[in-house]
Structure 1
């Protein structure tokens, strides 16, 4: 016989625990439930990642640069990929200064991610140097700030070639190696824009939605290789150089509306949560301050409300951009 009083009590206790956890997320306001739990009780990067060879794309600035520094301090040998060799040398030099790594522990790979013909050779170079690749961090890419009606189709082609096609091309060669070893991690820096939509970033959102769809579809193709993890990281706005380097309405035009970026999440915090996700093989992590984190939940569970809210916030976002301010500054609180 079912004891309905006990069932109701357990259900109430479960609901209370859930609400407490959601309140903790809201107060912490920088990561979703899975990452929050892993940070408190899960595996620590300092124990899981030392000695792991990590290949980071887009390593000359922003999230990729900061990731190189944090991984170096942990003791992970690094392969650093970006177009600008001088910037990679700068990052390598600092990695050596702040860690116990030596010159041979850090390999720079000067490469344009859109040069797909060079991906196989680059992978062989990294394997020849280190003998293995434990983690691939797909971080290279560019964002966008332009209205669709003003934007050349060539811009959309360039965004997809870099953010999507370039990423899955390099992944293919690294995955072949991981399948041979039956182990490895492929971590891709997607975006909250891969979950929701936003004005001024139609092409960027499309490329991140493409990455989400690709890697979520790749994961079940690898069920025969349980030692290979597919991890998608979805950051919100972060203090990095992404705004300075965005695509605009024309391929050759730079972004003049950089604005104040201090209200966004600190790059170091974003990378720390990313490394926690990496160490714990979290399939998907949302890493953001509010209101973006809250909107992710709305988009996931109540899309009609999310569309309604985005229509209102989106209008303000466009107005901010046209005034030369950061698009999100009017409704974004500085991270604590």
Structure 2
């Protein structure tokens, strides 16, 4: 008896095609943003970018802490516009200068933790903010301050009853034995500031992929397993005067170089042809402006590299500003 080959139903091919397309479709990385302005106020571009992000959180700088004349001072405490609203839960993020921990006494550590927690609670209550059960501390600790900083993190957790997390800089990964491991369960790896913008260099000081790879070559061995990733989307212009001194003008891009008073030296660098006010600064003839910004390709290179090093992670882009998010496809 001969068996005739049956034809497969049409829906089978439809399902097969759908699966093939799905497999080839690139999954978008879960992401959100840092909000680093002193006033909580989202314009339509920023709100749209935030609403479209997959993470339920917005990492919001509440205030900085510095030690001035021997006293701990909150600096640039956040305010909130009456029209600000978001469905995202806010993660209070506090930047503390490293010098705040230099020559600090144990009782001062406890005092600082109490004051930081009290200031956070004050802002939450005053502005009716919906917050997550987390406080993130940002500090570029050093070998000399690590023990006191780590003790501060422990005390803050004890006093606040919150999950305490902290940022992690590239050199703190590379030199983890020397720099120590913070007493937290989750860190935020800051994948930017690979060099100083005030040095004479052809490299992009915001993010140089080769430098980043060298710092993170052993990232998979870092003992804290939960690592989130902070990536840069900001830009700036580096102004150099006749003496080789540098200054930064934030939020400039290559589009800003289209000016008849500028002579183009390269795609991202110009020479000023006459004295005048540019971008709110008086700049002299002969000064140069070099733009540093981050392309989608650069970010993708970093993401692909990190995907081979660590498990699933959320990206927190620095920072949420219409100048930096408009036109980007996250």
TM-score, structure 2 as length reference: 0.40
- Larger Rg computed on CA atoms: 2
Structure with the largest fraction of helix: 1
Structure with the largest fraction of strand: 2
TM-score, structure 1 as length reference: 0.39
Structure with more relative contact order (C-alpha pairs < 8 Å, separation 6 or more): 1
